[in-house]
Structure 1
């Protein structure tokens, strides 16, 4: 049983990448790997981190020592539901839970966020990649959508990381039969996380017109094309698409074995549903 105001690695793992996930705040200096979705404050005063009353946070340090406990206590005085990760990052890795590699993370801007730029009018990959980044790499990442011919210019001017661009010099791009989402999953060290591997196959099939790869690819393509026609604003489309990928990820993680047909949700004969 965890200590008061502490959360176990297994329990936090169920919250990672979920819609209602707490702020995961990592206090370690220059880590190479982190819990997916972690944030890294640029100063030591928790009150200045900007988390308001009613929000939730989990504080991470190397081993669950006093640094995390002190920060969590201060946040709780601000009415933030703050817990520490029991055993810290060491306990997380000892439990063989997924981590994100930070070596390919672009430099952060003055606002503390990573900036990314890609082509306007996204369909599949250019919605899936921002979802992956926000849920697993940088929850506060900023995305810029511009005309195809402007991507590299804006990338240079705004120090934004280009992705999914028809240019061989761009790191985040298609490689052979793999789409940009595949490349990101591998480069961020998430290729052992089975739900993301399942989701990557769906994205690849929809994005590269390989609908034979998995049955769900055709559905994702249809939904993606529909969203692109509903929304003329790329950022509004991204927000709508986030919910689509949230749902697909949860299906990949928890619901593949569940069936739904005329009889699967009917009460057993002779029984009155509760």
Structure 2
């Protein structure tokens, strides 16, 4: 689990469905149970579309693109996940180190989401206050 999936889980729980729960499964050939929605995996309902990473797809489809703080975070997630040079935000290198550190210090998916969520809350607070 890396930046796009961690950030997408944060976005879902913080802005889309506060009661969301996650099941960690093998991404190949998983058949969802009734009521389950998949994200950031093959054949998922929410995943990469066109040149967008999963976080950007969720942001767009949930109608959250008018929030400048979320779009700033989306740019950072995009660069870590797709690395196409589309966005040149100065925070990307620090964000990359932070997310890599989270992934290096635990292999537990829930712990990664929790630690990443704490960090993303701070980025969101900063971008909200500074007006991006």
TM-score tier, shorter chain, comes to 0.7 to 0.9
Task: Give me the CA root mean square deviation.
Answer: 1.9
Does the Cα contact within 8 Å between 1:207 and 1:221 map onto a contact in 2? no
Relative to its length, the structure with more helix (as a share) is: 2
Distance in 2, matches of 1:239 and 1:210, equals 27
Aligned length: 131
Q: Which runs of 5+ in 1 are unaligned?
A: 1-121, 258-274
Q: Give 1:145 shift.
A: 1.4
Higher relative contact order (CA 8 A, sep 6+): 2
Whether the aligned pair in 2 keeps the contact of 1:124 and 1:203 (CA below 8 Å) is yes
Selected match of 2:115 from 235, 240, 262: 240
Question: Once the 2 structures are TM-superposed, how far is the Cα of residue 216 of structure 1 from its aligned partner?
Answer: 1.6
Aligned partners of 2:42 and 2:71: how far apart in 1? 24
Distance, in Å, in 1 between the alignment partners of 2:97 and 2:86 is 14
Distance 1:140 1:148 in 2: 23
In structure 2, the residue matched to 1:181 is 55
Report the counterpart of residue 96 of structure 2 in structure 1. 221
Aligned equivalents of 1:210, 1:227: Cα separation in 2: 23
Q: How does 1:257-268 map to 2 (within 5 A)?
A: none
Q: Is the contact made by 2:6 and 2:117 (CA closer than 8 Å) also made in structure 1?
A: yes
- Which consecutive aligned stretches of 4+ in structure 1 deviate over 6 angstroms post-superposition? none
Shift of 1:221: 2.0
